[in-house]
Chains A and B, each alone.
Chain A
Amino acid sequence: MPRERPIYSDFFYDPLTEDVEELLARFQQSDSIRYEYFSAAWRQMGFSDVFIGIVSMAEQKRFSRVTLATAVKYFLPPYSYQIRVGGLYLMFGLYNTQLAVPPVQIRFALKDWDIIQKFLKDSVNSGHQDVVYIYHKLVAAKAIHFTAMPHFLSFLKLRKRKQKTVCAGFIGRTMAVQELFSADILEEVSNIESQYEKLKENTVAVRCEASMTQRDFTARLKDCMAEFLTWQQKTFSQAEADNKGNGGGGDDDDEEEEEDEDEEERDYKASSSRARLISSIKQKSYSNFQEAPKARRHRQPQKVKVESSSSGSEQHYESGRKRKPASLRARTWKSLGVTKDESRMQVWLLSAPEQNERVPVKRIKQTPPYKE
């Protein structure tokens, strides 16, 4: 069996991610990007304590690396501007409170640099002084490593491929439709269309046969977009109001297109806020359920069978301790169909007695290694 890798050697650490999301959700609820609100949430949660309780320096360093990588994750897209600001503050907070000596640096990858610069430019342009100031403080403190990649890569496949759950509440609303609405593309399209119609009129042969285009295409597109925008407006103002209540609104990913949104729209119209709260809780618990490793789910029926055939005392013993899959030895035993009476041998017996030639099995007396 492969040996367990030391703790915190993956890129991210799940409980920490949950903590960070909790902190950012609190920050999001404040509906502000001021640093005061962030630091208030930080102090309220006692967030600098995450570094406490690690004795070994190597572990401390690995953990620092994980925390900073988590912060950088929220600093980069696809998250909304507010969350990214939260990510920046988080980087600042974690870098300055970490207990590793020498401090572990934040890693910026070359491919993310343009995104970071754009973020800064936007912040400067909209006059968010604290955001820019915090960033400058980090740079002045030389807290940044300029690297090729955000993580150390050693050709290790992550053991459990986790579904990448992007915390939906943190993502900014889709701007693409709005951009399309304001851009001149629609005008362009209608121009092309009229040009095309004109050409079609002029060529007698195809005039009647060709009917691929819809004459009112732009108008209809416009209608669709307008409808979507009003829906978005309505939903989000509602969702934001909800956010204050239950802390988790249903924003949409860019990829999830209108079918989903339509469904949600119906949801929103139909249900009262209480029902929505319940459904969100349910959803959460369902998603939690799905995260359980597949293998275990598959094993469940088997386990039931095993338990039902076991004797009473053993069952009692079993329920007390952690469930583990039967060892390879136990499974082999089972498939060989060897029962207890046949094998009263000790582990240290190097050769099997002659009457028992069939399978050279060994066995400890007291604790049965497999569940039967």
Chain B
Amino acid sequence: MAASKNANTNIPDYEYTDVNTDIFHIDSFRTEWLNRLHPGDFSYQPGDQDSSDALFAEEMGISADTMAELKTVCSLDSLRCHPEDQPPDTDVVPPDPTLKTLIQRKKKQDYRDTRKISKNRHDLYADELERLTFGKKSETLDDMVPEGEILLNVNVYYPAIFEKFTHVRPHITVLMMGSHTLAELRDAICCVSDLQVCGEFSNTPDMAPDFISKDHFKSAFFYFEGVFYNDMRYPECQDTSITTIEWAKDRNFPTYTQAKMEDTRFVDLKIKVGFPYLYCHQGDCEHLVIITDVRLTHKDDCLDKKLYPLLTHKHRVSTQKCAVCHVYIVRWVTTNDRFAPSNPCLFCDKCFRMLHYDTEGNKLGEFQAFPYVDRGAFN
């Protein structure tokens, strides 16, 4: 499966146009860029226009007069389409647009005005996380992301177990540095199946939050290009990928190998950009993982190492509300419950306790209660 190592395999190109790339090694890809670039090209120092102009004049052998002329001709004022003292209203499409883009947008805007729909909440907050960290510098130099570091844009998709999810592809997007290990990506992925609490707690509702699945079942693996990367950081971790490997062995599949998640950095990986891979935890909670972009860092990126892995997008899932108050998010699900209108029935913490326990906290009646973690609880 490994690509043969000749000079060009590390310059990524399309395998299928506009869908995914050929396989390449990330660190070699970085080296290829760094070899081609001038260190100033990717440094974080803000570009100084004057000195760069002077340098340019020197390189090209231009006289000061020509340079001055060039500057005025190519100044940003040359792009201004409106008088300086009357900037256009940037929220409204101007009347009678001539550009086709604007004609289309005007149509859309007019249509939107006829309908009384508030703005799309998803759109409104879509880049909120990114905006917060834009150009953030670290306080100490040690925590700075080094220049020429690789940044990876990783999409982790929710398991497609709800019918609705086959259409919308909800996911979280995490920005990772090349020096991160896969284990750090694992820790950055927040999935409700890690937070479930197993067991029936109707007798002792206060005990419930102590036992979440993440602490019980720590095994997980990533799959990239024929290699299973297992999480083996804790003694209780098991190799959950071996089942698949053995199964594949009997069935004439290419042989798969194994490695440790915590020992593998992103720069060591060989991947295809845009190609779906797998993250599996809790035994059978399977997420698609797609690396959508690999690039060098830029001075506008978040430069504080401590903030990475950086969550830049999170899909907002609608939450289930309590059957009693219809206000708070569900925390409990009960079965065989004589007080409940349905079986099973969902309750928020407050309503659940008010309905099922007396003031001393004694259980009233017969029912089973299971803690419930809502998918949208961490929007």
Contact = CB atoms under 8 A, between A and B. Distances in A.
A-B pairs, top 10 by smallest CB distance, nearest first, are: A153-B274, A53-B93, A58-B126, A140-B47, A15-B100, A147-B295, A39-B78, A140-B52, A148-B294, A46-B81
Contacts of B98: 45-46
Given A47-B99, A129-B70, A56 B295 contact: no
- The size class of the interface chain A forms with chain B is 35 or more
Contacts of A51: 90
A137 B67 CA distance: 13
Interface string A288-310: 00000000000000000000000
A38 B303 CA distance: 37
Interface in A194-252: none
Contacts of B106: 53
B240 interface: no
A53 B109 contact: yes
A154 B274 contact: yes
A67 to B, nearest CB: 9
Interface string A1-35: 01100110001010110110000000000000001
B101 A15 contact: yes
Contacts of A147: 293-296
B123 A56 contact: yes
Given A58-B127, A110-B33, A142-B299, A155 B101 contact: no
Interface stretch (A78-86, A95-103, A167-175): A95-103
A157 interface: yes
A53 B167 contact: no
A336 interface: no
Contacts of B18: 11, 151, 153, 158
Nearest to B135: A102
Main secondary structure of the interface of B (DSSP, over half): mixed
A344 interface: no
Contacts of B20: 153, 155
A146 B42 contact: yes
A315 interface: no
A46 B93 CA distance: 13
A55 B292 CA distance: 26
Given A124-B60, A129-B60, A56 B119 contact: yes
Given A148-B12, A148-B29, A133 B102 contact: no
Nearest to A57: B127
A156 interface: yes
B86 interface: no
A350 interface: no
Contacts of A54: 105
* Residue of B14, B47, B74, B168 ringed by the most chain A CB atoms within 10 A: B74
Interface string A157-180: 110000000000000000000000
Contact of B167 (A3, A39, A47, A61): A3
Interface string B10-25: 0111100011110010
A148 B273 contact: yes
